[in-house]
Structure 1
């Protein structure tokens, strides 16, 4: 398989954990493998962009092992709180990790799947992914990457020729297998499982693995690990808010200890700055509503701290947890200034600007995509009236961090509300027409260039 020798750096670090974290599994055999999306931009970073389409399908639809990395797919074991209810009966039920590679920055990256067949943790599921679910994940990851949210990247989507029955979309529906490129797949729930079994040796091994392979520190220090996770997840929560994004299912098994967002199910982008806006139709209590996401992520990190008590004292764990709120406040200020396209001033002035902006957004309920497009660079257009005078004054003296010379600023804002997601899917479902999806990915990437 012709990988790029300058950029392809295989690894197999998961094997160091033995049976602590995973079970070997086999990929499903699919009746068809039709390539629908290949992310060569992401693939280039790990030396895989040189694969032709046939080799790509072999690697990401038939799971022929990549050279030098894991010899067999591994389904990861974990537990987790799901809507605050503890569940010890979960794990990778329709996915696995099948390769590890170092990217151009030296980070250890996992290639993981969604829809690759049943595993010991499938319970009553069929281990499959709908094609629509795969399309939605492409859109989510592309949009979040453009909006500066740390996220997994959708590397590949292959249609697999099966008919699936689902209760939440018209059935039978088409099937697919997705491959994501992610900076680790170790979840808070991975630690919860070890705590549940009081596995002190396994906990120490996993702490060492994460610190060494995902944070580049040869340490055996659970407090240091928690400190990293608190910082990274506080940043993730802040950037969700600045992006107007609602993940929908912020269970502890969906929180990566690198602070990288992944596993997109009922996600949505909020039309306005509405704290009560939810993504999941089944989130009746609004537990994971837009405005409650920082609280939800903090709660999940508390479960990590609780799990680490197997090998650490409570007091330093609690002290580290208490840094989440100030780190979040610092991160949300930085994230919103980035979205406004302005250079930071003093901490006090920056916090005041952000507070003024949030008040105006809540009061006016202006569309978020329109607002951030119009104000980028720190200048409010003249047609923003009386309700915006306080923000106009707060922005005075702020310099733009980049020009509005990119062609993106001569068009219209690039958003991704639910009606557009459905409109992108409709021609695929009706006529196998992928034009709207391809055009949207190109538009999102153009926006990302302009914002960067």
Structure 2
């Protein structure tokens, strides 16, 4: 009996007309081997905690069971603000859908599966380096509670892949509630396939937003959900200090989940102008511009939906973005500062904090985590993280005054309760670029131990993990200046 006989496997996207995709069989790699298997995720589907040969054969594309129907999705999109009609799954294949034991449906997607009709000038492959980065970051984001795709497995091989140097080909088994992107709607709109555009919208509502079916204007309700979820996703990015790097419309999920991890980066020193993608010469996707770009992308989606939704409704829905973003971001930042109530001067307190951190090149994650330990360590370790001690003391005075004035049900909040709350939302561990780079360098020598160590910590980034203090250290100077590109 096959493992897959006991797993609930479906494939709704394959039931759409053929213009939505091309059926393609994976092109296997040579001498495949496991790099990582996400056992905690696997058991949610009834899969074994330890991977076996059958799983390796299936998920590396060597043997495709009858349950699966591999296909490359067709979509288009705006890349760095310019429309590109020639996009699609150029190296990834949507194999099927799996349902968890709790009833949640996920796509199974194989990244690095070989050439497709949409590969353009590429070779359809992914390299071990980029596969490790996506595997680690998708699970790190899940640990942080940020909407994201997931990673089930990572596979290495002996197949040479040619980038700036010769690297080894690898595959990522990615899970997502959907792989439908803004670019799917753009493809149908710009190719004037309006009946199919309506069909896709109907299926998105049926599959992912069933509550919109009974709305007075179902397409408007769907777009409102997409706008709200996108705003909340970006608010989480800004609050945790995450830069995506390639916010093209073909990398935007219609479910507001972080999608397609390439040249991403987490802030070390707080720098609102941080550019994580060294190919982003004009800084279009720099950290502080992410909210603006998200709205730009939603506007591109609105244009694609214009045959289905009246212009006034599109504009009104886009107008929700800023409110939703600001409300969610304010909520997240109040939680990070341990503030239980909302007060008029909170935005000024946040602004003063960011001004101080920027001017003093202070590590964002370390500062907020140390602030979460005021009950144990006092103010001085927080102040010592800031070069300008006087500026730090001034901000701490403002912060303490705000905390002291707060009342919940008429009672002051104790320092212990406040800090306990803060330690649940301010991570001790993030996936710093230098940690990912160290894991990559070890893996290239067939040592996957750092991947395992990082996975155990990043799954619970708010815990202390006293045996892994080295992973919470500030980055070395070389680690702050790693340049990451889209070459993967």
Q: Fold-level match, TM-score > 0.5?
A: yes
Alignment partner of 1:439 out of 448, 453, 456: 453
Q: Give the superposition deviation at 1:333.
A: 1.5
Q: 1:346 aligns with which of 330, 342, 350?
A: 342
- Partner SS, residue 191 of structure 1: helix
Shift of 1:374: 1.0
1:2 matched to 2:3? yes
TM-score under structure 2 length normalisation: 0.83
- Of the three residues 309, 332, 336, the one matched with 1:335 is 332
Q: Report the counterpart of residue 403 of structure 1 in structure 2.
A: 420
| Matched positions, count | 440
Matched, 1:85 2:82: yes
Q: Residue in 1 aligned with 2:110?
A: 113
Q: Deviations over 1:251-295 (max 9, x none)?
A: 000000000012111111111221110111111111000111111
Change (3 A) 1:401 1:365: same
Q: Distance in 2 between matches of 1:156 and 1:260?
A: 19
Worse-superposed segment, 19-28 or 98-107: 98-107
How large is the RMSD of aligned CA atoms in angstroms? 2.7
TM-score, normalisation: structure 1: 0.90
**Counterpart secondary structure, 1:237:** helix
- Per the alignment, in what secondary structure is the counterpart of residue 92 of structure 2? coil
CA deviations 1:100-133 (Å, max 9, x no partner) are: 1223453321111210111000011110000011
Equivalent positions of 1:274-285 (< 5 A) are 274-285=271-282
Query: Which protein shows a greater Rg?
Result: 2
Distance 1:401 1:91 in 2: 48
Q: Which residue of 1 is the match for residue 144 of structure 2?
A: 147
Change (3 A) 1:122 1:272: same
Q: Tell me the equivalent position of 1:394.
A: 402
Q: Could you tell me which of 311, 314, 317 is aligned with 2:311?
A: 314
CA gap of 1:439–1:433, structure 2 versus 1, over 3 A, is same
Q: Secondary structure at the match of 1:315?
A: helix
Task: Give the unaligned 5+ runs of structure 2.
Answer: 384-391, 407-412, 466-488
- Secondary structure (helix, strand or coil) at the match of 1:447 reads coil
Distance change (3 Å), C-alpha of 1:359 and 1:405: closer
Structure 2 residue 210 is matched with structure 1 residue 209: no
Residue 130 (structure 1) aligns with: 127
Q: Note the residue ranges of structure 1 that are not aligned, 5 or more in a row.
A: none
1:349 Cα deviation from its structure 2 partner: 6.2
Alignment correspondent of 2:438: 423
What is the distance in 2 between the residues matched to 1:353 and 1:102?
45
2:218 alignment partner, one of 216, 221, 229: 221
Q: Separation in 2 of the partners of 1:22 and 1:347? A: 51
Q: Distance in 1 between matches of 2:336 and 2:170?
A: 34
Structure 1 residue 375 and structure 2 residue 371: aligned?
Answer: yes
Name the SS for the 1:154 alignment partner: strand
DSSP 3-state at the match of 1:293: helix
